[in-house]
Amino acid sequence: QPDLVERLISVDVSPVSTAPVSEFSAYVSAMKSVKIPDGLSRSAARQLADDQLRPVAQLPQLRQFLLTNLVEMEGRYVWRVNLEAISNHLADIMNFPVFHKPYPGPALFLGGSNSPYISSKDYPEIQRLFPKADVQYIEGAGHIVHQDKFEEFIAAVLNFLPPP
Per the model's pLDDT, the better-predicted residue between 69 and 24 turns out to be 69
Amino acid at 136: Q
b/e 126-150 (16+ beta carbons within 10 angstroms → b):
beebbeebebebbeebbbbbbbbbe
State the pTM of this model.
0.74
Q: What are the tens digits of pLDDT across the range 12-58?
A: 999 987 765 568 889 999 999 999 999 899 999 999 999 999 999 99
Mean pLDDT on 144-152: 93
Tens of pLDDT, residue by residue over 71-110, are: 999 889 999 999 999 999 888 888 888 888 999 999 999 9
135-146 pLDDT, tens digit per residue, is 999 999 998 899
pLDDT at 22: 66
pLDDT, position 94: 81
Structural domains in the chain plus CATH codes:
2-17+96-160 (3.40.50.1820), 21-91 (no CATH)
* Amino acid in position 68: T
Residue-level pLDDT at 164: 83
In angstroms, the CA 33 to CA 130 distance is 40
**Cβ neighbours for 97, distance < 8 A, ≥ 6 positions apart:** none
Tell me how far apart the alpha carbons of residues 44 and 121 are, in angstroms, rounded to a whole number. 44
pLDDT of residue 68: 93
pLDDT at res. 20: 58
